[in-house]
Amino acid sequence: MSRRTLIKAAAAAGSATGLVPGLQSAVYAQGSDKPEKEEVRIGFIPLTDCASVVMASVLGFDKKYGVKIVPTKEASWAGVRDKLVNGELDMAHVLYGLIYGVHLGVGGPRKDMAVLMTLNNNGRAITLSKKLADKGAVDAASLAKLMTTEKREYTFAQTFPTGTHAMWLYYWLASVGVNPLKDAKVITVPPPQMVANMRVGNMDGYCVGEPWGHRAIADGIGITAVTTQDIWKDHPEKVLGTTGEFVKKYPNTARAVMMAILEASRWIDAGLQNKNKMAETVADKAYVNTSVDVINQRILGRYQNGLGKTWDDPNHMKFFNDGAVNFPYLSDGMWFLTQHKRWGLLKEHVDYLAVAKQVNQIDLYKQVAGAMKISVPASPMRSSKLIDGVVWDGKDPAKYADGFKVKA
């Protein structure tokens, strides 16, 4: 049997939990789809959205697909980048824009990179300090007004220059006419250090993944000014990233890991009980190192802003959402490139679509999704309207990138 025949057979016969055991053993017996590398080191940063990588390992989904995932806790995104590039890590739970930055040699070494799948949508927040909130800055408009009336240097933090958090922060500020590069000071701080830095007054605001948005509220030092799902509903966030070299050398391993993590993603999103178990697991010292209640509220869509407002958000962090989360849309990757150009990280326009096709492993993802009976969208492009009312659909990326009033 050829691998293609096996994948078709898997698509036809695959159970809800992936490949059927009989087929699995047939695949391994043939040796054609056996993972070439059985132990895979996957870096992660202590954030709620490392959960699918962690749970794939903890629940043993990795063993089912013939690999052993070794989650390795990293201190900063720069550290993740360096270890991916030099091969100390095989893969990582990583910022979408970081992978693209490395692929184009922006702000660091250049190496061919690969996005295997999207790990999650939604679930970041922009936090403003309690001091700003006490002066009336509780959202973008009131912050812009305060910055105009009370002139001083305002400092905001993101987690990595080409990363997602930087882009959400910049986009949000720019939507009310604040140029993050000219009207403020922007610093880079690793996610787990955000709350401590705000506590001692090192910044006025920050954008980061959970649980560090909710933690600022729990500690009484900050408020949620906006969630990132309010900037872009169902936005792409972390990806399973690796090098182009790894995918070429170990395609079966890549597929096996993707299957294990997709199964974990589906498990997390399957219900309340699973989400609570996930929160208990990742809160542990070995992973995020925080209290369970700081994680589980926002995972269930239960939000509070630190000013007395509470709400249930249907667009909370999602890991699977019937497969809608995980497809590596070309337009998602291209969006980050348009923002890199907008903010001067890219000096010239690139061939946006060509770069996305090099990085996002659409064919590989389709093979895996087919074998697991996970639906894939008809098109690798999608259309979204962001907080400023501007629609992104990937059709004319250069025009889109140049079309913003506020830019570098």
Per DSSP, 264 falls in state H
- 18 compared with 75, residue with greater pLDDT: 75
For residues 138-166, average pLDDT: 98
What pLDDT shows up at residue 206? 98
95: nearest Cα among 224, 215, 188, 197: 188
**Which of 10-19, 73-82, 183-192, 328-337 shows the lowest mean pLDDT across its residues?**
10-19
* Chain mean position to CA 140: 23
236: nearest Cα among 131, 99, 363: 99
- Answer yes or no: is pLDDT of 124 > 90: yes
- Answer yes or no: is pLDDT of 122 > 70: yes
Confidence of residue 141 (pLDDT cuts 50, 70, 90): very high
- CA–CA distance, 51 with 48 (Å, rounded to integer): 6
Regarding pTM above 0.85, the answer is yes
- Answer yes or no: is pLDDT of 230 > 70: yes
- CA–CA distance, 122 with 327 (Å, rounded to integer): 15
- Answer yes or no: is pLDDT of 11 > 80: no
Q: How far is CA 66 from CA 95, 125, 286, in A?
A: 27, 37, 24
Confidence of residue 404 (pLDDT cuts 50, 70, 90): very high
- Answer yes or no: is pLDDT of 20 > 80: no
- Answer yes or no: is pLDDT of 119 > 90: yes
What pLDDT shows up at residue 31? 58
- CA–CA distance, 23 with 224 (Å, rounded to integer): 49
Confidence of residue 32 (pLDDT cuts 50, 70, 90): confident
- Answer yes or no: is pLDDT of 127 > 80: yes
Cα end-to-end distance, the chain, whole Å: 55
Residue identified by tokens 């903010």 is 343
113: nearest Cα among 88, 77, 159, 81: 81
- 8 compared with 399, residue with greater pLDDT: 399
125: nearest Cα among 298, 323, 271: 298
**Considering the chain, what is the average pLDDT of its residues?**
93
For residues 263-267, average pLDDT: 98
Residue identified by tokens 């679509």 is 353
Confidence of residue 28 (pLDDT cuts 50, 70, 90): very low
For residues 366-370, average pLDDT: 97
In this predicted model, what pLDDT tens digit does every residue of 88-98 receive, in sequence order?
999 999 999 99
If one looks up domain 35-407 in CATH, what number appears? 3.40.190.10
